[in-house]
A and B are shown apart, each in its own frame.
Chain A
């Protein structure tokens, strides 16, 4: 099946810093989503981005489908950005089944 690799596995930032999280995937995809799992365990949709670039406030994402990677940018980080960021892709076909990466654990210190 499709492989999803995220880097870095862990990241520690000071409040106000910027960061880039990367997601590599091993095959073409129809769906790519970024999620934030907060310290309470809730899984929050950030972006649906199988290709192109999107921005939402301090967060933006870019997927280069031909090169099989996606980047999540966090600018001016805040302590509330802490948590695990997951990239998930579908495995093709029509069932929209997502394969998740292992995530990047982000800690933003005040």
Chain B
């Protein structure tokens, strides 16, 4: 019974490069969330997606960040032209979509921009 799977676990990018983070939700879960944890801070919501739809992107930076959850395959968080301030842990979470259900988190992807 696999949990939420994220990869890569660790990613190093030079300033200006692109970062792509992948997330496969738990089996049977159709709702995916991305959260960011900056150093010494709690997790902050970024975006909420269902298959082929962005439901809520109120926490996404306006530029350089995008997310998708295609009909087939994992959800992708894409950061273009990374800057040092993008260095953080990015967590994906999934949910079955029914009231009263736990939201489960993956192990996170640690992005370091050098």
Tell me whether B43 and A86 are in contact (CB under 8 A).
yes
Tell me whether A100 and B105 are in contact (CB under 8 A).
no
Chain B stretch 83-114: residues in CB contact (< 8 A) with chain A: 89, 91, 93, 95, 99-105, 107-108, 110
Tell me whether A101 and B102 are in contact (CB under 8 A).
no
Nearest-neighbour CB distance to chain B for A59, whole angstroms, equals: 15
Tell me whether A96 and B31 are in contact (CB under 8 A).
yes
CA A31 – CA B98 in complex, angstroms? Answer: 12
**B69 in the interface (beta carbon within 8 A):** no
B interface bracket (residues with beta carbon within 8 Å of A):
20 to 34
Chain B stretch 5-63: residues in CB contact (< 8 A) with chain A: 31, 33, 35, 41-45, 48, 55-56
Chain A stretch 3-55: residues in CB contact (< 8 A) with chain B: 30-31, 33, 35, 41-43, 45, 48, 50
Which residues of A lie under 8 Å from residue B93 when comparing CB positions? 98
Which residues of A lie under 8 Å from residue B56 when comparing CB positions? 95, 97
Tell me whether B95 and A96 are in contact (CB under 8 A).
yes
Asked whether A45 and B105 contact (CB < 8 A) given A95-B48, A97-B48, the answer is yes
Residue of A nearest to B33 (CB): A97
Tell me whether A100 and B108 are in contact (CB under 8 A).
no
Chain B residues at the A interface, C-beta cutoff of 8 Å: 31, 33, 35, 41-45, 48, 55-56, 89, 91, 93, 95, 99-105, 107-108, 110
Lowest 7 A-B CB distances belong to which pairs? A100-B42, A48-B102, A43-B105, A100-B43, A102-B42, A42-B107, A97-B45
- Having A86-B42, A98-B35, A98-B45, one finds 17 other A-B pairs with CB under 8 Å, namely A33-B102, A41-B107, A41-B110, A43-B91, A43-B108, A50-B100, A95-B56, A96-B103, A97-B45, A97-B56, A98-B33, A98-B103, A99-B45, A100-B42, A100-B43, A100-B44, A102-B41
Chain A residues at the B interface, C-beta cutoff of 8 Å: 30-31, 33, 35, 41-43, 45, 48, 50, 86, 88, 94-103
Task: List 8 A–B pairs whose Cβ atoms lie within 8 Å, in order of A's numbering.
Answer: A43-B91, A43-B108, A95-B56, A96-B31, A96-B48, A100-B42, A102-B41, A102-B42
